[in-house]
Amino acid sequence: MSIEMSESENIVFLRDKHIKYIDSLDKKQEDYEYWLSEHLRLNGVYWGLTALCLLNAKDTFKKEDVIEFVISCWDERSGGFAPFPGHDGHMLSTLSAIQILATYDALDSMNARDIREKCVAFIKGNQMKDGSFQGDRFGEVDTRFVYNAISSLSILGELTPEIVDPAVEYILRCYNFDGGFGLCPGAESHAAQAFTCLGTLAIVNKLGKLSDSQMEELGWWLCERQLPEGGLNGRPSKLPDVCYSWWVLSSLSIIDKLSWIDYNKLRAFILQSQDEKKGGISDRPENEVDVYHTVFGIAGLSLMGFENLDPIDPAYCMPVSVTSKFKKYPYDK
């Protein structure tokens, strides 16, 4: 699978095909899989839209239609956003909804029916005593949901020390001896959790809570995720996967050690995972593509400065042109 450098430099980034692929996703209603993936629809829209922004093709989706769909996903009972109309509100889909609206500069559409107010209450109401967050009322706890909450509230400008301080304490308890972060205290390090934990700390301006030696260990653990074929894995002795181009790279970027992996080799791995016929990127070469791996592959390329992509914010996983307008925590009095 490994490719010589001279060869890899010749692989072309299929910009137009990726745009076409993302555009085609909502036109697949004749496919059974389209209906089986309703529970991820709003997340899917966020992944697609973010990829399009990086590809400088934001207008591919019709803005009004997307905003209308997002609002139709709001679940009045919980106050959060569901991934699809009629489903239940959840922290994961709530962040996707807020990210999409912010990307379209359309957060004011949450002013109707007290959506904004109820949504903030939903998010804050999911914080547990130890600072962690549950995904919904049924009690599953994971640093993914801490990230969902902190990122959502940050985009809305609704962070407070009462929410932030215990959340930060909880995140720090998830730091492991090997230099990674787990999904909860005691859990094994996982690259996706490095992103959720470091992303949370970065958003609330608390990276300083990590010591220099912890930063060194983090950088070391993260850069050891790169395998000889160029791709990154999520844990020791696992296969490489394009989505870690995001989880690992964004984490390295947040701690200012992005250059600790080999860009050219990773670029080659991502490009080899493209579907040359229909566009899109898969988890690894020769596998079926999907919008999730497409956005995280493209986001990784953007962080490394390849392919003339629009810059992405490593902490929010949104275009810098959008996040630069967010109110920075701690807020001025």
| Residue ranges binding other proteins (CB under 8 A) | 30-32, 35-40, 82, 86-88, 90, 136, 138-140, 176-178, 183-184, 186-190, 219-221, 223-224, 226, 228, 235-238, 241, 257, 259-262, 265, 275, 277, 282-283, 286-290, 292-293
Least distance (Å) between residue 132 CB and other proteins: 14
* Half-sphere exposure (Cβ direction) of 188: Cα atoms closer than 13 Å: 4
For other proteins, the closer CB: 283 or 310: 283
The pair phi, psi for residue 81, each rounded to 5°, is: -95, 140
Residue with smaller CB distance to other proteins, 40 or 51: 40
CB of 109 to other proteins, least distance (A): 23
Q: Provide the sign of the torsion angle of the four alpha carbons 22, 310, 69, 134, taken in this order.
A: positive
Which two three-digit tokens encode residue 52? 């399009």
58 versus 257: smaller Cβ distance to other proteins: 257
For the bound state, the minimum distance from the C-beta of residue 41 to other proteins, rounded and expressed in Å, comes to: 12
Smallest distance, other proteins to C-beta of residue 284, A: 8
Nearer to other proteins, 106 or 227 (CB): 227
Pick the closer one to other proteins by CB: 31 or 162: 31
The residue written with tokens 């990674």 in the block is 180
State the minimum distance, in angstroms, from the CB of residue 43 to other proteins: 11
Specify whether the CB–CB gap between 230 and 269 falls below 8 A.
yes
How crowded is residue 169: how many other Cβ atoms within 10 Å of its Cβ? 14
Sign of CA dihedral 191, 197, 198, 202: positive
Q: DSSP secondary structure string, 32-49?
A: HHHHHTGGGHHHHHHHHH
* Cα–Cα distance for residue pair 235/89, rounded to 1 Å: 31
Q: How far is the CB of 30 from other proteins (least distance, A)?
A: 5
Q: Closer CB to other proteins, residue 106 or residue 141?
A: 141
Cβ distance to other proteins smaller for residue 41 or 116: 41
Of 28 and 327, which has the nearer Cβ to other proteins? 28
Beta carbon of residue 39, minimum distance to other proteins (angstroms, whole number):
5
Nearer to other proteins (CB atom), residue 35 or residue 325: 35
Element (H, E) at 313: strand 312-313
Q: How many Å apart are CA 142 and CA 80, to the nearest integer? A: 18
- Judge contact between 99 and 107, C-beta under 8 A: no
Give the shortest CB-196-to-other proteins separation in angstroms.
14
Minimum gap (Å) between residue 70 Cβ and other proteins: 17
Residues with Cβ < 8 Å from 176, sequence gap 6 or more? 182, 188, 189
Contact indicator for 70, 45 with CB cutoff of 8 Å: yes
Neighbours of 211 (CB within 10 A): 9
317/155 Cα distance (integer angstroms): 12
Six-digit token pair at 126? 């999911």
